[in-house]
Amino acid sequence: MTSTLFDLHGRVAVVTGAGTGLGQAMAVGLAQHGADVAVVDLSLTATDQTVAQITALDRRALGIACDVAQPEAIPRMFEQVDEQLGPVEILVNNAAIGSHTRPEHLGLDEWQRVLQVNLTGSFLCAQQGGRRMIPRRKGSIINISSIGGATALGRGNFAYGISKGAVLQFTRDLAVEWAKHNVRVNAVLPCQFRTHGLQAVIDDPQFDSDNLISRFLVGIPINRLGEPEDLVGPVVFLASDAAAMVTGALLPVDGGNLALNAGGSHTW
C-alpha cells in the first residue's frame, strides 16, 4: 500500500521569492508531490522558468509579480490566488534580501528595507494566508529563516541576522496563536546554500572569495555547501500530513552547523 503522508494533491501553495534558487526548488518540489503553486517574485519574467517547470509536471501554476515590501500588493496577490487557483493551504515565506554593512555604517534606509522584506513581508503574507486557512481549519506556513537568525554570522550580516532572528520568534508566537485553528507554523534554518545570492556575496570585492568559502565549510560538518534541492524534503514534510503534529518547530537544514560549537572542529 502506498503511503499518502506526503501527498499534496488538491492543495494550493504560495511560494514567495520563487523565481530562482531556493524558492524555485521548493515550488517545483511541492508540485512534484501534487500541489498547485502560485509562484511569486518581483516580476513575471522572474517567474517564467519556475512556472514552466511546474506545468511540465501537469500541475497548475500561476506566476504573480509582487514585492512583499509593498504592503498594499500582498492582499492583491492573495486575491489572484483565490480567483485562479483557490484558497491557499501552504505558504512558504521565502522572499528575502541580504545586507553586508557594518553596524556603525548601516543607514536607516537599508535597515528598514531589510526588516520590511524579511520580517514585515513575511508577517503580512502569513496574515493573509491565515485569514484563508483559519475558517477551513487547515494550513501550513513555512518561514525560511537562517542559521544567521539563531547565531551571529558577523561580516556585516547585522540587519539580516536580526531580521531572521525575528522570523524565528514570529514563527513561535504565530504557531501558538493559531494552533487552535489547526494552522501549523514552522521555520527552516538553512546554512550557506549555493544560490545566485550567495555567489554575489562570494564575488563581492570586499571579501576574499577563497577564504570566505573555506570559512563557510569550517562551520559545516557535512563539509559542503547546501544545494537548493536539499530544502525540498524538509519543506514537503512540513507542508504535508506527515507533520500534522509539528508546529512551532525551528528546523535546521545546515549540515550540522548549529550543532557545532564555535570552538569545535569537524576535522581531526
- Looking at the structure, tell me whether residues 30 and 125 fall in a common domain: yes
Residue 40 phi/psi, 5-degree rounding, is -110, 130
- Looking at the structure, tell me whether residues 116 and 217 fall in a common domain: no
Give the burial class of 194: count Cβ atoms within 10 A of its Cβ; 0-12 exposed, 13-18 middle, 19 or more buried: middle
Active-site annotation holder among 160, 170, 178, 193: 160
160 is catalytic: yes
- Looking at the structure, tell me whether residues 141 and 203 fall in a common domain: no
Sign of CA dihedral 68, 201, 188, 109: negative
What one-letter code names the amino acid at 150? A
3-state secondary structure of 41: strand
- Looking at the structure, tell me whether residues 168 and 202 fall in a common domain: no
Radius of gyration of the chain (CA): 18
Per-residue pLDDT at 2: 61
- Looking at the structure, tell me whether residues 41 and 114 fall in a common domain: yes
CATH number (domain holding residue 236): 3.40.50.720
User: Residue 268 domain-assigned?
Assistant: no
Residue range(s) defining the domain that contains residue 138 = 12-191+228-253
Q: Which residue stretches of the chain have pLDDT < 50?
A: none
What grid cell was written down for 119? 520580517
User: Residue 110 domain-assigned?
Assistant: yes
Per-residue pLDDT at 117: 98
The domain tally of the chain equals 2
- Looking at the structure, tell me whether residues 53 and 184 fall in a common domain: yes
**DSSP strand pairing (183-190 vs 139-144):** parallel
- Looking at the structure, tell me whether residues 141 and 169 fall in a common domain: yes
pLDDT tens, residue by residue, 159-201 = 999 999 999 999 999 999 999 999 999 999 999 998 887 787 7
Give the helix ranges, DSSP H, for 87-231: 108-115, 121-136, 158-178, 196-203, 209-218
252 has which bridge partners? 189
User: Residue 183 domain-assigned?
Assistant: yes
